[in-house]
């Protein structure tokens, strides 16, 4: 009867609310239960559990922590690894370090092709929480030893691969790598050599970089195994493949992929663990343990999380309360804040612009196609100068001058006035800084601007910056002007060049090239153009220099107006020279009127002159001897010798 009544009680149907509460209690106590909708379950748990120090609350938090870490580890990849790392640090990784290590090792074993991603994730976490990195290494070492003892080749290969990538990320020391290779090759078998070869492919580049002697010893051991035929033919082929990979310098096995190089060298923490260490894997961290100081430990980790993530947590708080800030702004009646202007101080836009221009220049067949592509570019405000400067720099960097750049710049100047003004500014800049260029670059830039001048790409008024004198020019600037004017004379011909230089509207801008303010500067300009073979351009200067001396002399003699000191000195020199010429001419005329001049034709001197017309060379020699005699006669006579009587 008692058994029947108990059975009847158990068979009585319960209400839906009682069923849900019973399932919730079973979940909290870890006994399992019926399926409950997650939303309804969360409401029931919030109603039943309010004390954070209770075991029920902590168990619920533990289950939520496991679920969150598992989801983040499963969805990590190259594209979202930085976001996943931030999300992981928002969880209590110190409390859940055991399950984090367990889930990472399990995910790597199930997906070996993502080993480099999981190793990068461990490397980032290791910089902030080194205990987690050390725990993962210890568990991997324990797993490798167990798999080696059990001859579990699959687990050995996956675990060794994970250790190799952790060594590449500098989480693991290279001594552990050498110990594993020594263990695998000490007693070579087909499986052990195969594991060693796959391990060496992943870590070979890093090992050759940090420990070349260790890498050499490993390959010597493999060579001995190959020569002694200790393994099957299939494994021998694998050894030959790893030697080929080494010969190619591991080009297909990079140490760290560029996208996963997330840790700075000074922030890396390397753990020196050995294969023979008997450290515990701390498997007790994988299960729930009640924490009496739960709230205190949570607050401590909150401080650590704030230090790691910085202001990102504050940004979340601000994002969660946008309505409050908006309401406060409306209450205060403030006007909306103007959009801030962001100035790029890293010159990223400039670098991208120069790269694009260079690629267009190199990929264009002719200047018309290149100009069409360049004009289709959307330049930001103020980038025109950088645009023209890049084209000029490309021309300067060529081994010889290419007319392609001159035609391109000409087309740009004729199409847009902004580009013409930019090239005018570049002419002044390059003329002022031409001393920084070598001979090849100097010739290229001078020929480019010469092309723009004779094609009227830029106006000739830019030549006003040139002051051709000894004080304001250097050897580089004179070479620059030499190439410019020689190119202009070749392209335009000298008559047309003279006509352009004598243009009344442009003449004021050429006063620095053909100076008339100082005879010294005038002579310098004449000598410069004469030395480069363009003396025809200075005919007006020569006439000016010749005619300016006469009025100077008259002005100095009359004393009507003060003169420039150099002009006054030149006038004195001309006056003295004129008087000397007149006096020499008068003495010559008086000598010709003397009676001895009539008999000069019969004199021996006249005979000597006739003889000199026949043999000029002999006359020169005779004259030299005679001049020598004259010099010797002009010396003081030596005293007469006295005769000594015996």
Ordered by start, the domain boundaries in the chain are 55-286, 348-548
Distance separating alpha carbons of residues 89 and 302, to the nearest angstrom: 10
- CATH code, 55-286: 1.25.40.180
Q: What is the pLDDT of residues 552-582, one digit of tens each?
A: 444 444 443 444 454 455 555 556 655 555 5
Question: Could you identify the residue written with the tokens 């997650």?
Answer: 38
pLDDT at 294 over 70: yes
pLDDT at 207 over 60: yes
Question: Could you identify the residue written with the tokens 């290149």?
Answer: 370
φ/ψ of 373, rounded to 5, equals -70, -40
With pLDDT > 90 as the criterion, what percentage of the chain qualifies?
51
Where is 150: in which H helix or E strand?
none
Question: Could you identify the residue written with the tokens 């020196």?
Answer: 272
Looking at every residue in the chain, the average pLDDT score rounds to: 79
Q: What does the block give as tokens for 478?
A: 């004179």
Closest-CA residue to 398 (of 363, 442, 434): 442
**pLDDT (average), residues 44-73:** 80
Quick one: pLDDT band at residue 323, thresholds 50, 70, 90?
very low
Rg of the chain, C-alpha, whole Å? 49
pTM: 0.47
> Is the pLDDT higher at 26 or at 316?
26
Quick one: pLDDT band at residue 613, thresholds 50, 70, 90?
very low
Min mean pLDDT across 368-377, 391-400, 553-562 is at 553-562
pLDDT at 537 over 80: yes
E strands of 516-626, at which residues? none
End-to-end alpha carbon distance in the chain: 191
* Residue-level pLDDT at 549: 56
Distance separating alpha carbons of residues 72 and 75, to the nearest angstrom: 5
Class of domain 348-548: mainly alpha
Q: What is the pLDDT of residues 449-482, one digit of tens each?
A: 999 999 999 999 999 999 999 999 999 999 999 9
Give yes or no on whether 55-286 and 348-548 have one common fold: yes
Is the distance from CB of 286 to CB of 99 less than 8 angstroms?
yes
pLDDT at 93 over 70: yes
Quick one: pLDDT band at residue 380, thresholds 50, 70, 90?
confident
Count other C-beta atoms under 10 Å from residue 439's C-beta.
9
Is the distance from CB of 91 to CB of 64 less than 8 angstroms?
no
pLDDT at 633 over 90: no
Q: What does the block give as tokens for 195?
A: 């594991």
Distance separating alpha carbons of residues 57 and 477, to the nearest angstrom: 84
Q: What is the pLDDT of residues 174-200, one digit of tens each?
A: 999 999 999 999 999 999 999 999 999
478 conformational bin, left if phi > 0, alpha if psi -120 to 50, beta if neither: alpha
Distance separating alpha carbons of residues 375 and 212, to the nearest angstrom: 54
Quick one: pLDDT band at residue 616, thresholds 50, 70, 90?
very low
Number of residues in the chain: 646
Is the distance from CB of 141 to CB of 275 less than 8 angstroms?
yes
Sort 227 into a burial class: Cβ within 10 Å, 0-12 / 13-18 / 19+: exposed
* Residue-level pLDDT at 326: 46
Count other C-beta atoms under 10 Å from residue 200's C-beta.
27
Alpha-helix residue ranges (DSSP H) falling in 211-293:
212-228, 233-247
- For residue 93, the number of C-alpha atoms closer than 13 Å in the C-beta half-sphere is 26
Closest-CA residue to 435 (of 395, 483, 474, 485): 474
φ/ψ of 73, rounded to 5, equals -65, -35
Q: What is the pLDDT of residues 347-365, one digit of tens each?
A: 788 888 899 999 999 988 8
With pLDDT > 70 as the criterion, what percentage of the chain qualifies?
71
Is the distance from CB of 161 to CB of 199 less than 8 angstroms?
yes
Closest-CA residue to 67 (of 25, 38, 43): 38
**pLDDT (average), residues 131-155:** 93
Q: What does the block give as tokens for 391?
A: 């084209």
Is the distance from CB of 529 to CB of 535 less than 8 angstroms?
yes
> Is the pLDDT higher at 567 or at 539?
539
Q: What is the pLDDT of residues 415-452, one digit of tens each?
A: 999 999 999 999 999 999 999 999 999 999 999 999 99
* Residue-level pLDDT at 53: 78
> Is the pLDDT higher at 225 or at 10?
225
Helices (H) and strands (E) in the chain, counts: 30, 0
* Residue-level pLDDT at 25: 56
Residue 119 CA to chain centroid, in angstroms?
30
Distance separating alpha carbons of residues 580 and 585, to the nearest angstrom: 9
Min mean pLDDT across 300-309, 581-590, 600-609 is at 600-609
Quick one: pLDDT band at residue 313, thresholds 50, 70, 90?
very low
């Amino acid at each position: 009867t008692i058994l029947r009544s108990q059975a009847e009680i158990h068979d009585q149907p319960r209400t839906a609310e009682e069923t849900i509460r019973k399932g919730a209690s079973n979940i909290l106590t870890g006994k399992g239960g019926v399926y409950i909708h997650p939303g309804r379950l969360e409401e029931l748990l919030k109603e039943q559990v309010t004390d954070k120090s209770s075991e029920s609350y902590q168990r619920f938090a533990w289950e939520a922590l496991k679920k969150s870490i598992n989801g983040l580890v499963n969805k990590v990849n190259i594209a979202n690894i930085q976001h996943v790392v931030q999300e992981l640090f928002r969880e209590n990784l110190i409390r859940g370090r055991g399950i984090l290590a367990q889930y990472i090792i399990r995910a790597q074993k199930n997906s070996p092709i993502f080993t480099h991603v999981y190793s990068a994730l461990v490397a980032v976490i290791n910089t902030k929480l080194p205990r987690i990195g050390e725990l993962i290494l210890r568990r991997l070492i324990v797993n490798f030893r167990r798999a080696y003892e059990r001859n579990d080749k699959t687990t050995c290969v996956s675990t060794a691969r994970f250790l190799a990538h952790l060594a590449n990320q500098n989480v693991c020391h290279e001594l552990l790598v050498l110990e594993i290779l020594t263990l695998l090759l000490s007693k070579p078998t087909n499986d052990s050599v195969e594991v060693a070869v796959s391990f060496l492919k992943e870590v070979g580049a890093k090992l050759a970089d940090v420990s070349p002697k260790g890498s050499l010893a490993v390959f010597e051991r493999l060579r001995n195994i190959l020569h002694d035929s200790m393994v099957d033919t299939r494994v021998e082929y694998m050894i030959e493949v790893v030697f080929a990979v080494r010969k190619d310098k591991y080009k297909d096995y990079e140490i760290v992929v560029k996208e996963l190089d997330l840790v700075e060298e000074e922030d890396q923490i390397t753990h020196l663990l050995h294969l023979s260490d008997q450290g515990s894997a701390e498997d007790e961290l994988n299960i729930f343990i009640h924490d009496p100081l739960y709230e205190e430990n949570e607050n401590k980790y909150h401080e650590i999380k704030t230090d790691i993530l910085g202001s990102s947590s504050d940004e979340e708080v601000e994002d969660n309360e946008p309505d409050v800030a908006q309401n406060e702004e409306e209450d205060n009646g403030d006007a909306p804040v103007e959009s801030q202007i962001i100035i790029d101080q890293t010159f990223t836009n400039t670098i991208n612009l120069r790269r694009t221009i260079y690629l267009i220049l190199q990929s264009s067949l002719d200047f018309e196609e290149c100009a069409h592509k360049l004009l289709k570019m959307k330049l930001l405000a103020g980038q025109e100068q950088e645009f023209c400067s890049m084209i000029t720099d490309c021309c300067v960097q060529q081994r010889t001058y290419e007319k392609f750049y001159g035609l391109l710049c000409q087309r740009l100047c004729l199409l847009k006035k902004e580009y013409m003004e930019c090239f005018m500014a570049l002419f002044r800049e390059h003329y002022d800084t031409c001393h920084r260029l070598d001979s090849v670059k100097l010739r290229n830039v001078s020929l480019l601007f010469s092309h723009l001048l004779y094609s009227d790409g830029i106006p000739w008024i830019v030549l006003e910056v040139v002051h051709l004198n000894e004080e304001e020019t250097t050897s580089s600037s004179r070479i620059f002007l030499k190439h410019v004017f020689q190119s202009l004379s070749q392209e335009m011909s000298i008559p047309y060049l003279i006509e352009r230089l004598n243009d009344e509207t442009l003449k004021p801008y050429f006063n620095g090239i053909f100076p008339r303010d100082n005879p010294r500067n005038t002579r310098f300009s004449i000598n410069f153009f004469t030395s480069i073979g363009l003396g025809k351009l200075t005919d007006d200067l020569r006439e000016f220099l010749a005619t300016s001396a006469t009025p100077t002399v008259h002005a100095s003699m009359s004393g009507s107006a003060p003169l420039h000191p150099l002009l006054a000195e030149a006038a004195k020199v001309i006056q003295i020279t004129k008087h000397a010429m007149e006096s020499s001419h008068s003495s010559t005329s008086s000598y010709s009127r003397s009676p001895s001049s009539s008999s000069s034709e019969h004199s021996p001197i006249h005979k000597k002159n006739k003889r000199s017309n026949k043999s000029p060379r002999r006359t020169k020699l005779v004259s030299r001897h005679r001049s020598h005699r004259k010099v010797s006669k002009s010396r003081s006579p030596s005293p007469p010798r006295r005769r000594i009587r015996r």
